[in-house]
A and B are shown apart, each in its own frame.
Chain A
Amino acid sequence: AQSVTQLGSHVSVSEGALVLLRCNYSSSVPPYLFWYVQYPNQGLQLLLKYTTGATLVKGINGFEAEFKKSETSFHLTKPSAHMSDAAEYFCAVSEQNQGGKLIFGQGTELSVKP
């Protein structure tokens, strides 16, 4: 069965510092991987996704993630944090022909200190 583990329910960084949010997945077949962001009282916004091809994926707002099959990881990074990055971040995994079922992690709340 597929699963997602996000290491760290809360991450705090200073403005301008590196952001690193960790995600490990379990899947018996090559996965599709996603990162979503959720601002308070809002729905989910897609940051980036990996389906096939290049393992380093660039997304919106300066975020990127690298698919590492050997480590079953898909960590999210951003070189320099901005106050507006404070939000909840969710990693998700899916398989082909799964009827659109996304398996989400528990989420990581990112705080950015001035």
Chain B
Amino acid sequence: ETGVTQSPTHLIKTRGQQVTLRCSSQSGHNTVSWYQQALGQGPQFIFQYYREEENGRGNFPPRFSGLQFPNYSSELNVNALELDDSALYLCASSRDDRVAYGYTFGSGTRLTVV
């Protein structure tokens, strides 16, 4: 079975621009979560999608938004980029929205905002 794949792997954007990051879930998984991992920190929960609906959100402003598609792939959109948005963005998928099942993480997208 395929794992979680994310694209692109690296990205450089200018402050104020918008960015879209993409994630393909592991086969058979219907739940996707997104995390932001700043350098030297643990990942922070942004939001989760279950069957195309957002069902959990962390302490991130509305300029962080997402989508989940019928094939359970997902996008993370960030508007009005700020320097502090520079981080590794991780996507994780699960076969259900119950956290007990555990999550499979992708290798991440490294976003640099200059």
Q: How far is the CB of B7 from chain A (nearest CB, A)?
A: 13
Contacts of A95 in B (CB 8 A): 99
B66 within 8 A of A: no
What is the number of residues of chain B that contact chain A, defined by CB distance less than 8 Å?
30
The reply to whether A96 and B98 form a contact with Cβ atoms under 8 Å apart is yes
The reply to whether B41 and A106 form a contact with Cβ atoms under 8 Å apart is yes
- Give a binary string over A68-82; 1 marks a CB under 8 Å from any B CB, 0 the rest: 000000000000000
Report if A96-B90 is in contact (Cβ < 8 Å); known contacts: A43-B4, A90-B42, A104-B43. Answer: no
Chain A-chain B contacts (Cβ-Cβ < 8 Å), number: 74
Our pick among B4, B58, B100 for the contact of A101 (Cβ within 8 Å) is: B58
Which of B12-20, B68-76, B78-86, B103-111 faces chain A?
Answer: B103-111
Our pick among A4, A42, A51, A99 for the contact of B97 (Cβ within 8 Å) is: A99
Interface residues of chain A, those whose CB is within 8 Å of chain B, are: 4, 32, 34, 36, 41-46, 49, 51, 90, 92, 94-96, 98-107
Interface CB pairs A-B, < 8 A, 28 = A32-B99, A32-B100, A34-B102, A43-B90, A43-B106, A43-B108, A44-B92, A46-B103, A46-B104, A51-B100, A92-B42, A94-B99, A96-B98, A96-B100, A98-B56, A99-B50, A99-B97, A100-B55, A100-B99, A100-B103, A101-B33, A101-B56, A101-B58, A102-B35, A105-B42, A106-B41, A106-B42, A107-B41
